Amino acid sequence: MPRIAIVGSFSTGKTTLAEAASARLELPLLPETAREVAALGFKLDKDATPEVETLIFLKQLHNELTHPDFVGDRSLIDVMAYAGWVLDNQPQPPRREIALWEECVRIARFHLRSQYTHVFYLPIEFDIVPDGLRPLDPAFQKEIDKRMMALLEENAISFGTLRGSVQERLDALTEAVQP
């Protein structure tokens, strides 16, 4: 049962690739938890709070645990990268929220290496595409990318890097999943 996580900063083509891979491999596409949370009226990214990041984490974990196989354009890795930025950029560290988030991190670290059969990293290759949710800030995009790479390395998560067009990425992903 493939459990495929496609990771990378925003506007790197994760959703486009995940939708194509889901169709080609006939696997369910995980719901986008951040968009679900935004639809509830919560702010994301630079405007998010530790509580919002915790909600996103719990929804993402639930989605991953309740689907035996999937393609996800978001993963616990993504959630941890964004939440790390939010916590590091709080004006004054909120003790309760940090304690709550630290429990999420403990859960994630327990699951990260076994949660996914395949992890594919998409580097920043394209200009940011406005989607109404993400900031149009290349420095923030690079910061999230740096955090993703650090999480992959710190947690010894094996991953493949996919570059090029959507078709080139999809072909490489398919070959790795179905050799």
Domain map of the chain by residue range?
A: 3-177
Look at the pTM and tell me if it is higher than 0.85. yes
- The structure tokens listed for 83 are 């939440």
**Sheet with strand 3-7: strands edge to edge:** 70-72, 3-7, 118-121, 160-161
Q: Which of 81, 59, 62, 64 is nearest to 10 (CA)?
A: 81
Residue 93 is predicted with a pLDDT of: 60
Bridging pattern class, strands 160-161 and 118-121: parallel
25-54: pLDDT as tens digits = 999 999 889 889 999 999 988 888 888 889
Pick the CATH number of 3-177 from 3.30.460.80, 3.90.660.10, 3.40.50.300, 2.30.30.140: 3.40.50.300
> Which residue ranges of the chain lie beneath pLDDT 70?
93-94
Residues 6 or more apart whose Cβ sits within 8 Å of residue 26: none
